[in-house]
Structure 1
Amino acid sequence: MAEQCVGAVLNTPKTVNPRRCSFSQLNQLHFSSSLCKMIPRKPQSGSLSIALNATSSSSAMASSQHLPPLSLEALKTSERRNEVMDAIQRSIGNCLSETHLDVTVPSLQSKTRGKVRDIYDGGDYLVLVTTDRQSAFDRILASIPFKGQVLNETSLWWFNRTQHIVQNAVVAAPDKNVTIAKKCSVFPVEFVVRGFVTGSTDTSLWTVYKKGTRNYCGNTLPDGMVKNQKLPANILTPTTKAADHDVPVTPDEIIQSGLMTQADYEEASAKALKLFNYGQQVAMQQGLILVDTKYEFGKAPDGTILLIDEVHTPDSSRYWIAHSYQERFWNGLEPENVDKEFLRLWFKNNCDPYKDEVLPDAPAELVSELAWRYIFLYETITKSHLQLPATEENIHDRITRNVTEALASLP
């Protein structure tokens, strides 16, 4: 039933009738999303033609010649899915929805509850606990088994591999759901980077574009684009917090309002674009398109800008299957995705997630499907298996023990 629900969301046709391209041609075309340009040509007979200039690294090409292209079918038929689904279903009642380490770990002080993370003051350090809460539309929609572990371990994997671009705040990772970080002054700006015109939320690029906006967060957008089309170049669309939601802002507004100095903004924005470019390259090597994401930065006491929070997770990022993207785009179909968009769309189709005081419960099959997709994405990118907990020990008890021991060992 999960596949039926998800498929109904993914396969909704659009009104565009693009020119067809043979599947064999698409299958042979390997492209790097950080290097390709999708350029609309003049429509002929009511169709849209897209020219794709592709350049790929020799290592990525070699990989594509020896491995079958990644497809969404692997989500439905792999042996790994059956193994993981059993664990997911056993753990639905053991999700980490709330934490209270300020009560169970004596050395921790105040607690800040975010949408997904609970942050504790540990004196010289911050203890960031990634829960299983699922957030969208500025609200909590559900709790997803193993989600917190996936987000935490995905971020740690990327933190380790992006130090050539920017330093990060990670000190230790004593638990599957926990990162201990250096304290720093956090910039009150989220650096949202986008490579495609897409999305379904009120602040998504497609939503504002179809309303006629052509200047967004300081970026000039070309006319004539359609949903899910690649932008001529990656763009930065920063947001800032107001009450409980994100507000798009321009670079000038950020600097004029004193949220960041011009020097800090220029450095952070340049690093954000480099991180995204690198993330697109890594994702493409594994058959994925990194569509958009967000980064957060802070400033250490010595003035160093640090990458904080999460990196390229399925919560902060949108991923599409690269192999099928072009053909589905040309056929007017939504891209095959490996993120939470299908759950967003389910809520949009069954309620008003922005206005309804009480939301319906997410179907159990969609919760399980999303948990598996998070794990699938982690394992696809890292080329490793997520180490599921060996026992069904209470997650909060495990975290309490591991955090207590870790803080005692830190200077």
Structure 2
Amino acid sequence: MNTIVDTNYNFPKQKSVYKGKVREVYNIDDELLVMIATDRLSAFDVVMPRGIPFKGQILNQIATKMMKATEDLVPNWLIATPDPNVAVGHLCEPFKVEMVIRGYLSGHAAREYKAGKRVLCGVPMAEGLIENDKFPEPIITPSTKAENGEHDEDISREEILSQNIVSKEDYVVLEEYTRKLFQRGTEIAEKQGLILVDTKYEFGKTKEGKIVLIDEIHTPDSSRYFYIEGYEERQQQKVAQKQLSKEFVRQWLISNDFQGKEGQKIPEMTDEYINSVSERYIELYENIAGTTFVKADVSNVEERIEKNVLNYLETE
């Protein structure tokens, strides 16, 4: 299992490195960002002890495909993808919120609803809904961007503005871009026989002050998908939807008494389980992207990435 779970490169003109839950971002001369999608697996804001083969490649390639499919609607940070696990883009100052948009009562929203809440991030939810019902209109439920492994927290539009986390002028743009991207993502998913249930977008500002989409988009880590076929029947029968997202990992963890809470122990992830997760991610890729997944050479993945990034930087 040759996975990449940590990097320690020293590229020419490198200024700093930021290590997120899954991605590692290298600042090149305060101009470019080299973002490496590792094979780390995060759930409940906790990084699992073992990597998932090909996961980073899958996330990077879906995100690249979706950025290209939405760049006519919303500008994004991406310039090039010199390696299956790597994206290179413009240096941006990230906004300190994640723009979560939900078309259906699923995941976190469903858990909150089941607990009796009828307002999420300042947005009311109607009575009488059952899990995975479609909302009359998609709702935006932002969260704070967690630092250093802390949990993301729900936050309302009003709190974001009153705490001056984002200016009103910028926040209006973030909401507009979020709705446009979700609409396009919904249309792309439909062509693949899928429902885009919910997703999150992250935005940043370029040096010139332009708001752009950053990070990943419409991947199984940032989004939840259902199959269109059988959706209505499953809702009528009140049974779980067949879905494409990393929710299957969360459910496995929950069934093994882990939800990222203090004192809880991450269950053992055997080779067999790791391989099954990798196979599931490949299935997600092929369903979402609509193309066959081609595994990159992982005989020496760290060396491959370094070589490809250096070649790219030398030609720039």
2:267 corresponds to which letter in structure 1?
P
In the other structure, the counterpart of 1:259 is 165
SS at match of 2:100: strand
Change (3 A) 1:381 1:137: closer
In the other structure, the counterpart of 2:118 is 214
Alpha-carbon separation, structure 2, partners of 1:329 and 1:222: 17
Q: Which structure has greater helix proportion? A: 1
The correspondence of residues 191-206 of structure 1 with structure 2, limited to 5 A, is 191-199=99-107, 204-206=108-110
Q: Residue 107 of structure 1: CA displacement? A: 3.5
The correspondence of residues 294-373 of structure 1 with structure 2, limited to 5 A, is 294-352=200-258, 353-356=260-263, 358-373=265-280
Alpha-carbon separation, structure 1, partners of 2:266 and 2:309: 34
Specify which of 291, 295, 299 is matched with residue 384 of structure 1.
291
Q: Is the 8 A contact 1:339 1:373 kept in 2?
A: no
The correspondence of residues 6-405 of structure 1 with structure 2, limited to 5 A, is 93-102=1-10, 105-123=11-29, 124-141=31-48, 142-199=50-107, 204-243=108-147, 244-352=150-258, 353-356=260-263, 358-389=265-296, 391-405=297-311
Alpha-carbon separation, structure 1, partners of 2:38 and 2:263: 24
TM-score by length of 1: 0.73
Q: Is the 8 A contact 1:101 1:108 kept in 2?
A: no
Alpha-carbon separation, structure 1, partners of 2:56 and 2:298: 15
Q: Residue 354 of structure 1: CA displacement? A: 1.8
Identify unmatched segments of 5+ residues in structure 1. Answer: 1-92
Alpha-carbon separation, structure 2, partners of 1:355 and 1:362: 19
Change (3 A) 1:278 1:350: same
Alpha-carbon separation, structure 2, partners of 1:344 and 1:364: 18
2:233 corresponds to which letter in structure 1?
E
2:243 corresponds to which letter in structure 1?
N
TM-superposition CA deviations, 1:309-357 (whole Å, max 9, x none): 0000000011111102111121121001122112111111112332235
Alpha-carbon separation, structure 2, partners of 1:362 and 1:223: 39
2:191 corresponds to which letter in structure 1?
Q
Q: Which runs of 4+ in 1 moved over 4 A?
A: none
Alpha-carbon separation, structure 1, partners of 2:57 and 2:251: 24
Q: Is the 8 A contact 2:4 2:38 kept in 1?
A: yes
Alpha-carbon separation, structure 1, partners of 2:235 and 2:269: 29
Structure label with greater radius of gyration: 1
Q: Is the 8 A contact 2:43 2:249 kept in 1?
A: no
TM-superposition CA deviations, 1:213-240 (whole Å, max 9, x none): 2121121111111111111111100011
State the superposition RMSD in angstroms.
1.5
Q: Is the 8 A contact 2:12 2:28 kept in 1?
A: no
TM-superposition CA deviations, 1:88-114 (whole Å, max 9, x none): xxxxx2011111113xx3432321110
1:214 corresponds to which letter in structure 2?
R
Alpha-carbon separation, structure 1, partners of 2:185 and 2:233: 23
The range that moved more, 215-224 or 130-139, is: 215-224
TM-superposition CA deviations, 1:138-166 (whole Å, max 9, x none): 10124111000010010000110101210
Change (3 A) 1:405 1:335: same
The range that moved more, 256-265 or 351-360, is: 351-360
Alpha-carbon separation, structure 1, partners of 2:212 and 2:80: 15
TM-score by length of 2: 0.94
- Aligned identity (percent) is 39
Q: Residue 266 of structure 1: CA displacement? A: 0.6
